Amino acid sequence: MSFSAAAAAWFALAAPVSPAGCASSDGIEIGPRLAQWVEKRQAKCQQLRPYEGTFLEKQILAFEKAERPSITRLNLLGLYPRLESVDHRSQYAPGLRLWQPDLGGSRLDLSGSAFWSFQGYQYYDAQVGAVPHHGQAFPLLATKNDDVFELANVRSDANAPYMLYGSFLYRWAPKYDYFGIGPDSREEDQADFRLQETLYEGVAGYRVLPRLTLSGRFGLDSFSIGEGTDDELPAIDAVFPPETVPGLAEQPDFVRYGAAAIFDSRDFAENPHRGAVLAATWQRYDQRGGGDDQSFNQLAADVRLYLTLGSRQRVLALRGYASQDDPADGARVPFYLLSYLGSSHTLRAFASQRFRGERLALAQAEYRWEASPVIELAAFVDSGAVAATRDDSLGSFRTDGGIGLRVKSHEATLLRFDFAWGSEGGSFLFRFSPVF
């Protein structure tokens, strides 16, 4: 084949394009053999169709693009199946979330949850009224009780600048840990107890500035403490004299009320890459039924910063948290309402609720790198300390570190795997929520 013939064939097959997108040999003189090749190429080109991936390929592509998997949108009459970790040591709890926003075109929303874990934990809640939310997305209501502030503040992207709703919560936790009070509690003194909580509450709030919400709440909170169901751990009163455990002998009902100020500039609440949250809360627990030996105030501040390092794929996340309980003169804060460290959100290498006290300080840092839109790698450090009473100084800071892997969508963390190690050993955590 001469060079000119080869060049003509290449030009016929590659350069001229017909309206259908196929090569054309119009106006080009080529030999009969090359003409056959061109005709075959054109016939094949006419039959080409865009490739349609299989169902599995489409789901993988959705993950690669950090799109929310379609299974999370499956629901029946507003009931969404979910798998959560709803409490300390609860492991995995299957259940349902109810979400009916803007009923009948009104501002009335209906939200609720029902979970039952494989460890026997139960969690139920419901909210009725103007519940803050963005579009049709779920409201940001926390199921766990280790957050300093409720995440249901009125964000700048919410449908309305206010919230006003009634709330109900029921929690049954058959296995909670207790190691004693203060920084000198010992790992070998671990005991367990059962906790039952019922809360009726009204919540109101308004976004006074584009990113600042002021809110208040008022409700009735009741507790019941009993013997835990962990056969490998002793009961509290078998390890600790009952008179040293405030609130063990009697659990009164509390009238609970308080106020909060929350500044929130995060780009996405559940997958932030930049912005900050600054929250300050005050809550009052007033003992009912006479007496004041367990009434107290609780003050807390939470600061969370998210700094982009050069690109959106690299984020430095920082958190500082402090709280103080102020009981009335001669009163003691019930042990089950004391602030604590040790969980998948605080000191991750330490046992659940490892350190309890009336004063607490915590600092956390995470370097987060998005290896792909759906996969994030992390390295982290946690450090915190407690004091037994408000008049004591903080004990020695306990520190842990570790690495993590997260599966994410564009707007939320779907799965979180953390491995942490500290002075009392290591811990592997699998959760369905971000750390902070």
Q: Residues 373-405: pLDDT tens digits?
A: 889 999 999 999 999 999 999 989 999 999 999
- Averaged over 415-425, what is the pLDDT? 94
pLDDT of residue 13: 46
How much is the pLDDT for 342? Answer: 92
What pLDDT, in 10s, does the model give residues 76-105? 778 889 888 888 888 888 999 999 999 988
Asked if 174 contacts 228 with a C-beta cutoff of 8 angstroms, the reply is yes
Q: Are 343 and 353 in contact (CB under 8 A)?
A: yes
For residue 180, is it left (φ>0), alpha (ψ between -120 and 50) or beta? left
| pLDDT tens-digit series, residues 369-378 | 998 888 999 9
Tokens of 225: 């403490």
pLDDT at 29: 58
Greatest distance between any 2 Cα atoms in the chain: 108
Interior angle at CA 107, CA 75 and CA 155, nearest 5: 85
- Contact between residue 116 and residue 109 where contact means Cβ atoms under 8 Å apart: no
Q: What average pLDDT does range 273-280 have in this prediction? A: 94
Please state, in angstroms and rounded to a whole number, the distance separating the CA atoms of residues 141 and 257: 18
Q: Which residues contact 159 (CB under 8 A, 6 or more apart)?
A: 102, 132, 133, 134, 135
**Which phi and psi (to 5°) does residue 67 adopt?**
-90, 145
Q: pLDDT class for 235, splitting at 50, 70, 90?
A: very high
Contact 241, 216 (CB under 8 A): no
For CA atoms 167, 173, 178, 183, the dihedral sign is negative
Rounded to the nearest integer, the mean pLDDT of the chain is 85
User: When comparing pLDDT for 335 and 74, which is higher?
Assistant: 335
Split at pLDDT 50, 70, 90, the class of 262 is very high
Q: Give the least confident one: 18-22, 33-37, 121-125, 283-287.
A: 18-22
Q: Tell me the pLDDT band of 128, cut-offs 50, 70 and 90.
A: very high
All domains of the chain in start order, with CATH: 3-46 (no CATH), 55-431 (2.40.160.50)
Identity of the residue numbered 227 = E
Which of 66-80, 205-219, 272-286, 314-328 shows the lowest per-residue confidence on average (mean pLDDT)?
66-80
Closest-CA residue to 173 (of 227, 127, 95): 227
The separation between CA 410 and the C-alpha centre of its own chain, rounded to angstroms, equals 14
Per DSSP, the chain holds a count of helices (H) and strands (E) of: 4, 18
pLDDT tier, 28 (very low <50, low <70, confident <90, very high otherwise): low
> Which H or E run contains 377?
strand 375-387
Q: Model's pTM, two decimal places?
A: 0.81
DSSP E strand boundaries for 36-138: 79-84, 93-100, 109-116, 122-130
Burial of 249 (0-12, 13-18, 19+ CB in 10 A): exposed
Cβ-contact 247, 331 below 8 angstroms: no
Q: What is the rounded CA–CA span in Å between residue 142 and residue 154?
A: 14
The residue-averaged pLDDT of 326-336 equals: 90
Q: Is 62 helix (H, G, I), strand (E, B) or coil?
A: helix
List residues bridging with 299 in a β-sheet. 282, 324
